[in-house]
Each structure stands twice: as C-alpha cells, then as structure tokens.
C-alpha cells in the first residue's frame, strides 16, 4: 500500500505528525527560535570548542557546499538559551528546490543516490560531534544506514555521524547549561569549521569511537570520558552494514 501513496503525501503526513507530537508533548514551546545575536551581544561570548573537517572534491561537492551555506545561514549565530531544545529541521526548514537547494549525494533505501538537499549530513554530524565534546546528550540522533566511506575519503570518525531526513529524522538536543551558547561556522572551499561560543567556559571532553570489525559490517561504540578520565560513559552503539553498492 505504501508504494501507491505519492512521496509528497507521505512527507506531508510525517511533517504534520511531527508537529502534532511536538505540540501535544509540549516540546514545540521549548524549541530554539530564530533569535539571531547582534554583533554588540557577541562580545560577551568566547569560542569554546572547535572542529574542522575537510570537504572532498566529488561530482556533487559544489552542490553540497551550496546546500551547506543555505542551512548554515539558518543556524549560525542563533541563541540557544538554557533548557531550550535545538531542532535541526525546525531551524533549517524544508530543503526544497523551491528554497534554492540543489541535488547532492544521499543514502535512500540503503543505496547511494542524489537528492535535493543532499550533503547536509556533514553539518548535522559536525553539530553532533560538538555537543558530544561539550558533554551534551542528544534527544534525537540517527546514524547513517550504511558506511559509505573508505578510510581515505572519511572526513569524520565513524560513529560521529548524524543523518537528517526532513520529516523523518532530526537532530535534537536540550541546552543543559545555566548559560546560552551559539554555533558559528566557516565554510571554505575545501573545509568546514564549526565552533561553539558561550559566555562561560566548559570543559572539552575526550571521545573515543571504538570499532569492532564483524562479518557484515562494523560495530562502533561512542565513548565519552570524564575530565579526569577515571570514568566513562557509552553514549551510543551502532552497527554499520557494508554498503550494498
């Protein structure tokens, strides 16, 4: 039955369902809104954690950078106040052709393909990586269904990814601190840099993505250590099947 329902109808239903669940559960009233900091306000904030990742040249890399720039414009310098919930899609919105997004590489039904808005997962993955280092536990995060990279083409540790699919898969977290913070990005020709800015300092925790090779893929444990490294917590354990094609 599902295959006879147009994809646009299914998406509209999922988006409406999400909105209803967020409203009925009281989540929507705590979402981060598009409150952009003024330059005069930024002087109270200092850089805390920084991550830089390469952007490799591929058939879709120009489109990817175009898409990243559009999404970054919706997230950068947006204040995340204490107890507020950051939702990637609530801020970015639908990555449609009408809104200027281009085709980029994506995984659909466990296959590599090209879809409008493809490439945004590097941005969501960067944000996920940053909040893990800051000691935040995500409310919602989804790994990719396949590991599509070789070690030579990998731009981030396996296990640090966070795929986002509009209407279906989001990246969400709550600000657990007593102070606000915001993200800032620097999109370059062959790299992207992401930083957390805050008015107070907080420790940068060490992460380990522990891999175990299995017959049909790789199991990755995401481990976060305390400052003294005497204790650790397992944040996530994900199995990545080998790419089907």
pLDDT of residue 4: 62
105 vs 112: CA distance, rounded Å:
7
pTM for the model: 0.93
pLDDT exceeds cutoff 90 at 134: yes
Tokens of 56: 């490799």
Residues 122 and 13 in one domain: no
CA distance 173 to 128: 9
Same domain, 63 and 18: no
**pLDDT value, residue 1:** 52
Q: Which range marks the domain in which residue 18 is found?
A: 1-30
167 with 110, same domain? yes
| 19 and 29 Cβ atoms separated by less than 8 Å | no
For the chain, the domain total comes to 2
Let me know whether 115 and 22 are in one domain.
Answer: no
Q: Is the pLDDT of residue 111 over 80?
A: no
pLDDT at residue number 80: 97
| Sheet containing 191-198: order of strands | 46-54, 191-198, 182-187
Q: Is residue 166 part of a domain?
A: yes
Token representation of residue 108:
């659909």
Are 1 and 35 members of one domain? no
Q: How far apart are CA 81 and CA 182, in angstroms?
A: 9
How far is 130 from 204, CA to CA, in rounded Å? 9
Question: Is the per-residue pLDDT at 123 higher than 80?
Answer: yes
């Amino acid at each position: 039955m599902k295959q006879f329902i147009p994809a646009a109808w299914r998406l509209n239903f999922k988006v409406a369902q999400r909105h209803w669940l967020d409203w009925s559960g009281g989540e929507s009233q705590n979402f981060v809104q598009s409150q952009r900091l003024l330059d005069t306000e930024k002087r109270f904030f200092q850089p805390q954690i920084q991550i830089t990742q390469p952007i490799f040249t591929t058939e879709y890399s120009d489109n990817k950078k175009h898409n990243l720039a559009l999404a970054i414009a919706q997230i950068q310098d947006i204040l995340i106040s204490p107890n507020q919930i950051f939702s990637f899609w609530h801020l970015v919105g639908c990555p449609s052709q009408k809104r200027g997004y281009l085709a980029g590489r994506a995984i659909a039904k466990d296959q590599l393909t090209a879809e409008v808005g493809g490439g945004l997962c590097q941005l969501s993955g960067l944000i996920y990586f940053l909040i893990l280092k800051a000691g935040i536990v995500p409310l919602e995060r989804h790994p990719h269904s396949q590991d599509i990279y070789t070690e030579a083409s990998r731009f981030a540790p396996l296990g640090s990814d966070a795929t986002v699919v509009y209407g279906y898969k989001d990246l969400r977290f709550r600000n657990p601190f007593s102070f606000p913070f915001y993200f800032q990005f620097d999109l370059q020709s062959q790299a992207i840099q992401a930083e957390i800015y805050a008015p107070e300092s907080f420790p940068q925790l060490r992460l380990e993505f522990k891999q175990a090779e299995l017959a049909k893929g790789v199991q990755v444990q995401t481990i976060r250590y305390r400052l003294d490294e005497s204790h650790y917590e397992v944040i996530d354990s994900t199995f990545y099947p080998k790419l089907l094609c």
